[in-house]
Amino acid sequence: MSAWPAGIAVEVGRDASVKHVVFGSGTPVLIAGPCAVENYEMMRDCAAEAGRSGAGMLRGGAFKPRTSPHSFQGLGREGLAILARVREETGIPVVTEVMSCDQIGPASESVDMLQVGARNMHNFPLLTELGRAGMPVLLKRGFMATVEEWILAAEYILTEGNASVVLCERGIRTFETWTRNTLDLSAVPLAGMKSGLPVIVDPCHATGSRVLVGPMCHAALACGADGLMIEIHPDPARASSDGDQSLGFELFRTLAAELAETAAFFGSHRQGG
């Protein structure tokens, strides 16, 4: 391993707040919602289910970076308007992805946290502008990025004066073909120790399979994740994107209850209870 870059100023125990939700407080944050915003009714139902199941935040993609240009690319500004309406009606904080600098302003008016996807982790102009925007940022690890590169990407945001950054491990690309990516759980405590930033886990993009989401959620909490991001959908088979890795409401409700017990167990043991 290379020597740790001298430019990274580690602040142990640094947290990040999104309205009333605090990442890094010792209580894991649950984020839930569909991969993509499809319509108002679907987002309203997802927000209601997220709230009933104990999720602190709602996720939903208005702008969707897809491997194929022929795949659903999201509703764009219309999607942001839907997220803003659901946020106003429910009060639940919302996170959505931005892919370019010109999307930061409109998204900032509609949601509470801006996400940088894996494909844009190395988009340094975007990271710099997010640092200047002052909005809380969720920074996903690139699928070919080392932990050091991931944290240095966060530094682009931090050095502009924005200290509200949360890291998200979502799997890296390996030679394995039976999962979408390979979830690197060793990166969770490592990134947290090296950066001082909260680290959450996205098991859906890591595995690409809903049957693997539950076990990886429990494992993530066991290794100290500060939160989880889970994709849910009222009818995963009809989802416009990522249906195979999305959980139906009933399955999510059951998993959320189980995760609450897991979080309480490991939390009490870390505190010496």
Encoding tokens for residue 243?
Answer: 């249906």
Provide the CA 51 distance to its chain's centre, in angstroms: 17
pLDDT of residue 1 exceeding 70: no
Instruction: List, as one string, the DSSP characters of 172-191.
Output: B--S--SSSSB--TTHHHHH
Helix (H) or strand (E) holding 171: none
The pLDDT of 200-220, averaged and rounded, is 97
Q: Dihedral of CA 264/53/37/16: which sign? A: negative
CA-to-CA distance for 213 and 245, rounded, in angstroms?
A: 8
CATH C-level class of 24-270: alpha beta
**pTM attached to this predicted model:** 0.92
Question: What is the Cα–Cα distance from 7 to 4, expressed in whole angstroms?
Answer: 9
**Domain spans in the chain, listed from the N-terminal domain onward:** 24-270
* 223-268 pLDDT per residue, tens: 999 999 999 999 999 998 888 999 999 999 999 999 999 999 997 6
4 pLDDT exceeds 50?
no
Q: What is the DSSP string of 105-125?
A: HHHHTT-SEEEE-GGGTT-HH
Q: Quick check: 114 and 133 in contact, CB under 8 A?
A: yes
Query: Dihedral sign, CA of 89, 95, 100, 104?
Result: positive
